[in-house]
Amino acid sequence: MIRARELTKHFQVHKRPPGFVSAMKSLFHRTYETVKAVDGVSFTIERGERVGFLGPNGAGKTTTLKVLSGLLHPTSGEVEVEGHVPFKRETELLERITLVMGQKSQLIWDLPPSETYAMNRAVFDVPKAAFEKTLAELTELLELAPLLDKPTRQLSLGERMKCELAAALLHRPTTLFLDEPTIGLDVAMQVAIRDFVRSYNQRHEATVLLTSHYMDDVVALCPRIIVIDRGVLIHDGDLRQLIKAMDPDKRVSFTITTGTPPTDEELGKLGTLVTREAQRITLKVTEAQLPGVIGHLLNLKAADLAIEDPPLEDVLRVMFGQSKAKANGPGTGA
């Protein structure tokens, strides 16, 4: 279980304008600004949950993950992970958690990944049989075999990320903090990683807290999402309910392959035109209008008909826009 109560993390940041004079002045007098990276965030995540942790750049997602994994001491508030206070970095906790950061490597740079794996086995005291079984499983799933003996520095970003994920899971942690775990991976490998994380979560009843800029990762993996902006929690709940609350209209996509294509004006009578690319058209349609629109499209012999929720990206864009307007307050303008 993960629990954060009124968690805050502030940083003192040295501010200096560009230029030689400012550089010289900063030798004698420095101006610091307090940045509230995380500001009073509270949530509880039960064991075995998969939760997406979303927010724009600089929202405080990674800082929160670093506090939860014990790298940062919180400025105030309480944090508990698997019954431990993370910043105490007790062995019992470190054995149960892992943090994968797409931008940071735990692999030993000059040696092949297999050496990092051997070191992790020794440090986490993983029995040899369990280690070999887990490594074999990860090697097969992530297609690591050709990479294990190449120096890490010679791996591509995607190859390195696969090896990072394996290094992070060799000790079979029960809490996974995944910060952009699919960054740099091709689409097929992104899908493979998602499948693997879901399967790992189900087999080991592992708790997963995931940040990703690929919304497909979040939609595919996380029934629940926590949204944070400017260090403040702005949503915590079911992903579909959020989408429904923010934008209840459906996206209806179809292709016209026969007859005269409808004009934009005709489409406007069915719903709001979202995109029109060659013969493929997407409309935004209210739930009440949906049966009538579908019937009409079938009469038009529309092909490849698809009815979907609005993309999470669009929902979040609206949400962050509202959050920004609220933060700026009335009358401040954009």
Partner 1 sequence: MSAARTLRALPTLLRIGVAETVAYRAEFLVWILTTTLPLVMLGLWTSVASEAPFRGYTSAAFVAYYLSNLIVRNLTGSWVAWQISEEIRLGAMSMRLLRPLHPYVAFAASHLAAIPFRSVVVLPIAIVLLVSSGASALTTEPLQLGLLVPSRALAWIITCNRLFMIGAVAFFGTKTMALMNLYFALFSLLSGYLLPIPLLPRAIGWFAEWLPFRFMLSAPIELMTRPLDGAQVAAIMLGQIGWAAATLALALVVWNRGIKKFEAVGG
Residues that bind partner 1 (CB under 8 A): 11, 62, 66, 69-73, 87, 89, 91, 94-95, 97-99, 101-106, 108, 110-111, 115, 118-125, 151, 179
Which CB atom, from 208 or from 267, has the smaller least distance to partner 1? 208
Pick between residue 95 and residue 314 the one whose CB is nearest to partner 1: 95
Give the C-alpha separation, 116 to 164, whole Å.
Answer: 10
Residue 14 Cβ vs partner 1, minimum distance, rounded to whole Å: 11
In angstroms, the Cα distances linking 11 to 14, 42, 63, 97 are 10, 19, 10, 25
What is the closest distance, in whole angstroms, from the C-beta atom of residue 21 to partner 1 in the complex? 23
Strands (E), the chain: 2-15, 31-45, 50-54, 76-81, 97-101, 175-179, 207-211, 224-229, 232-238, 250-255, 272-277, 280-285, 303-308
| Residue 284 in tokens | 């935004």
Q: Closer CB to partner 1, residue 207 or residue 282?
A: 207
Q: Which is nearer to partner 1, 41 or 167 (CB)?
A: 167
d(CA 206, CA 20): 52
Q: Are 306 and 296 in contact (CB under 8 A)?
A: no
Report the nearest approach of partner 1 to the CB of residue 63 (Å).
8
Q: How far is the CB of 332 from partner 1 (least distance, A)?
A: 31
Comparison of 122 and 136: residue with beta carbon closer to partner 1: 122
CB of residue 87 to partner 1, shortest distance in Å = 8
Minimum distance from CB of 289 to partner 1 (Å)? Answer: 46
**With left for phi above 0 and alpha for psi between -120 and 50, is residue 107 left, alpha or beta?**
beta
d(CA 271, CA 80): 48
For partner 1, which is the closer residue by CB, 55 or 262? 55
